[in-house]
Chains A and B, each alone.
Chain A
């Protein structure tokens, strides 16, 4: 099986964030890491390859620093990497990002494409699904298990409340992988060293530009929530307090 894994570099979860001057995104001086669900997507791809042989390719988009996630992918066992390298990729919406990826892999023939369920920074959960749509592939989201069948694959999707759904799909297909589907492996010294010599194809903005359009979504303004913690004591008999409380929940906070 030939599998493509889309990986994203995101700010580390506990990184102290600061807004940039225009208040539209964060300042760059934070530490980055691999988007967590993408790490599980990579792991799943590597396991599928180990079971069924094939090739694992990792792809990302972003400035030079984002090459780190490809290095990590290669160190853990991916065979080669594709880097859409340009600062301009940072501000793309999910629709354009999907178009850029599809354009970058137009000459490739994958059986499966994995993405993480969603990114830890934007949290769109759209890029993978749109890619499938653009390519006319079937897709399934929130995948917890993948089994190869004679005609394609059988996947287990996580629904709410402990429910799961099993779906049979033909190949090629795109799956968005849920965190926790497997246990992540560690990179090894040898893996890290070998990663240096694995092929890494760079794709410039110019190469995919013609496929892109205007962003349909854009961030107008980011701001830190104002702390408005206020404690109000309700007086009266238990009955009166309950009544006041219900009134507040219904009319002020509007949760009832």
Chain B
């Protein structure tokens, strides 16, 4: 349960709070054999499962004497139900779904077809509508969906096809042997706050898999283990991320049309931050709106949840929402890095799909179709590997070849240098975008490098104490309770719930840094960038700088921002006990 009350803890309890989750040692674990284990039941993972099932069905029709089984194909999903941890705008480009399931438009939960777009540049009190909508933001023919409902629907298809989806189970560790990934260990259940077994303890399984497909979404925790273990990001741009903070509103009839799409740039961010707002008109007077803040900003006092509140206060947005009511809240990161940040897609026994592998078009702000397509291509490779009983790097790397010869490459190659252009700010970025339009995405040279976003955060003493040009957007949102909300009110609307008696799944590797250096250097930005109030600095006279870090892991909405944006790289997000997390019903 996310709690709205401020709970005070004694010193002993604080020590209690700071026991971090780790897989238990010396536990006898049940094992299960799998042909393919897909980690993550989002669009990418489910598309992978469905495509694989289709290929097996086709094979079985053609080869009655050599039947293949789907018995040992599994999808692991940490949410209690499919879709509950899925968050996006969302607009879907139908291209990939048309290939996966012809006729899907008639039965999928599509809320509205986009038929009206506008792009605005916002100043504090005014707005300038772009006379034409830039081609990448033309969304005619795309659909407004609730990704939550879409994923639920797609999951039903997967289950009907005979693939087992294990909901409420997270992948907590990657099983490896040498350079080979041999499967996934699921989360231990029934562990108390001090990492001790409870009476209903249930050890995680070792799912021994011929192929492990990582479809964990942005900043996947197993993907991170894999990338670090085999140093996969070397010679590539580091991944860069944005965080989308979203609210779902119910507005008076007609305020925002079904199928209406609005994008904004500018205010409340300054020209030094990258980001923008969106408003999508869905059916039944439901409106999805949110603000994306790129996680490479300089000022540690910036708070993406506050940015969304300021965005709504703009006269243009406030007038659209007038008389409406906020009904849901959520936040999620997504990868901006594109083609040059993409890790190797396959190796010995493993493949990566979707956001985990950088399949997102940052110029069009769309990734669902790419996640689906990448899942399908991984499935095609997995199918052939199963037929040949060969799961080597050489075999599975054909997935990468499939990506290179598909429309994914065409789409992402064109925008390969898009986000890099904005590292120097909005103006430079827009000029650079224009240049890329002329040069087919190249710009001035072939590969623009980028820097991991957290490295761009500045020390407080390098920034104006009053915030300077950013003064208006720093600090916590207070909220008027109607149009704008403080973080805890928003958080309450995320439906977030975890088993309370479990160790913290936010692992801080050195809390001394939080309580000493970070207090002075960055002012503990975790309190600001976390959209769910997980991190708090409590007054503590006995602490060297008068403050100690305190965690509310039960508030966590699984956005991964802390893992990405913490300037010392001392926070690791691992999955909590399966079944916990936000409940993004209808989001």
- Footprint of B on A, CB under 8 Å? 12, 14-16, 29-31, 33, 183-190, 192-193, 196
B79-120 CB contact bits vs A (8 Å, 1 = yes)?
A: 011001000000000000000000000000000000000000
Q: Are A16 and B327 in contact (CB under 8 A)?
A: yes
Identify whether the interface residues of A are mostly helix, strand, loop, or mixed.
Answer: loop
B190-232 CB contact bits vs A (8 Å, 1 = yes)?
A: 1000000011101001010000000000000000000000000
Q: Are A184 and B200 in contact (CB under 8 A)?
A: yes
- When distances are taken between beta carbons in the complex, the residues of chain A under 8 Å from B186 are 189
B167-206 CB contact bits vs A (8 Å, 1 = yes)?
A: 0110000000000000000100110000000111010010
Knowing A16-B327, A31-B81, A31-B84, the reply to whether A183 touches B199 (Cβ < 8 A) is yes
- When distances are taken between beta carbons in the complex, the residues of chain B under 8 Å from A185 are 200, 202
- A186–B80 Cα distance when bound, in Å, is 12
Q: Are A16 and B586 in contact (CB under 8 A)?
A: yes
Residue from B30, B81, B189, B586 within 8 A of A186 (CB atoms) = B189
- When distances are taken between beta carbons in the complex, the residues of chain B under 8 Å from A193 are 32, 164
Closest chain-A Cβ to B525's Cβ sits at a distance in Å of 30
Residue from B81, B202, B495 within 8 A of A14 (CB atoms) = B495
- When distances are taken between beta carbons in the complex, the residues of chain B under 8 Å from A190 are 30, 32, 205
Q: Are B166 and A192 in contact (CB under 8 A)?
A: yes
Closest chain-A Cβ to B102's Cβ sits at a distance in Å of 25
- List the 10 closest pairs (A to B, CB-CB), nearest first: A186-B202, A186-B189, A189-B205, A183-B200, A14-B495, A185-B200, A31-B585, A183-B199, A189-B32, A31-B81
Cβ of B328 within 8 Å of any chain A Cβ, yes or no, is yes
Question: B109's closest neighbor in chain A, by CB?
Answer: A29
Knowing A31-B84, A183-B200, the reply to whether A188 touches B583 (Cβ < 8 A) is no
Q: Are A14 and B586 in contact (CB under 8 A)?
A: no
- A184–B84 Cα distance when bound, in Å, is 22
- A186–B30 Cα distance when bound, in Å, is 14
- When distances are taken between beta carbons in the complex, the residues of chain B under 8 Å from A183 are 198-200
Closest chain-B Cβ to A12's Cβ sits at a distance in Å of 7
Closest chain-A Cβ to B295's Cβ sits at a distance in Å of 29
- When distances are taken between beta carbons in the complex, the residues of chain A under 8 Å from B200 are 183-186
B556-587 CB contact bits vs A (8 Å, 1 = yes)?
A: 00000000000000000000000000010110
- Pairs across A and B, CB under 8 Å, 26 listed: A12-B583, A14-B1, A14-B583, A15-B495, A16-B328, A16-B495, A16-B585, A29-B149, A29-B586, A31-B81, A31-B583, A183-B198, A183-B199, A183-B200, A185-B202, A186-B202, A187-B168, A188-B202, A189-B32, A189-B169, A189-B186, A190-B30, A192-B164, A192-B166, A193-B164, A196-B164
- When distances are taken between beta carbons in the complex, the residues of chain A under 8 Å from B470 are none
- When distances are taken between beta carbons in the complex, the residues of chain B under 8 Å from A188 are 30, 202, 205
B140-159 CB contact bits vs A (8 Å, 1 = yes)?
A: 00000000010000000000
- When distances are taken between beta carbons in the complex, the residues of chain B under 8 Å from A14 are 1, 495, 497, 583
Closest chain-B Cβ to A9's Cβ sits at a distance in Å of 12
Question: B76's closest neighbor in chain A, by CB?
Answer: A189
- A190–B169 Cα distance when bound, in Å, is 12
Q: Are B585 and A30 in contact (CB under 8 A)?
A: yes
- When distances are taken between beta carbons in the complex, the residues of chain B under 8 Å from A16 are 327-328, 495, 585-586
- A184–B1 Cα distance when bound, in Å, is 18
- When distances are taken between beta carbons in the complex, the residues of chain B under 8 Å from A33 are 80
New A-B pairs, 18, CB < 8 Å, besides A184-B200, A185-B202, A186-B190: A14-B497, A14-B583, A15-B495, A16-B328, A29-B585, A31-B84, A33-B80, A183-B200, A185-B200, A186-B202, A188-B30, A188-B202, A189-B32, A189-B169, A190-B30, A190-B205, A192-B164, A196-B164
- When distances are taken between beta carbons in the complex, the residues of chain B under 8 Å from A12 are 583
Closest chain-A Cβ to B33's Cβ sits at a distance in Å of 11
- A188–B84 Cα distance when bound, in Å, is 20
- A3–B337 Cα distance when bound, in Å, is 57
- When distances are taken between beta carbons in the complex, the residues of chain B under 8 Å from A189 are 30, 32, 166, 169, 186, 205, 207
- A193–B80 Cα distance when bound, in Å, is 17
- A192–B159 Cα distance when bound, in Å, is 13
- A113–B166 Cα distance when bound, in Å, is 30
- A23–B205 Cα distance when bound, in Å, is 46
Give residues 371-421 of B contacting A (CB, 8 Å): none
Question: B577's closest neighbor in chain A, by CB?
Answer: A186
Closest chain-B Cβ to A76's Cβ sits at a distance in Å of 11
- When distances are taken between beta carbons in the complex, the residues of chain A under 8 Å from B199 are 183
- When distances are taken between beta carbons in the complex, the residues of chain B under 8 Å from A196 are 164
Closest chain-A Cβ to B576's Cβ sits at a distance in Å of 14
Closest chain-B Cβ to A165's Cβ sits at a distance in Å of 27
- When distances are taken between beta carbons in the complex, the residues of chain A under 8 Å from B81 are 31
- When distances are taken between beta carbons in the complex, the residues of chain A under 8 Å from B205 are 188-190
- When distances are taken between beta carbons in the complex, the residues of chain A under 8 Å from B207 are 189
- A14–B497 Cα distance when bound, in Å, is 9
- A99–B186 Cα distance when bound, in Å, is 43
- When distances are taken between beta carbons in the complex, the residues of chain A under 8 Å from B166 are 189, 192
- When distances are taken between beta carbons in the complex, the residues of chain A under 8 Å from B583 are 12, 14-15, 31
Question: B2's closest neighbor in chain A, by CB?
Answer: A14
Question: A13's closest neighbor in chain B, by CB?
Answer: B497
Question: B492's closest neighbor in chain A, by CB?
Answer: A14
- When distances are taken between beta carbons in the complex, the residues of chain A under 8 Å from B497 are 14
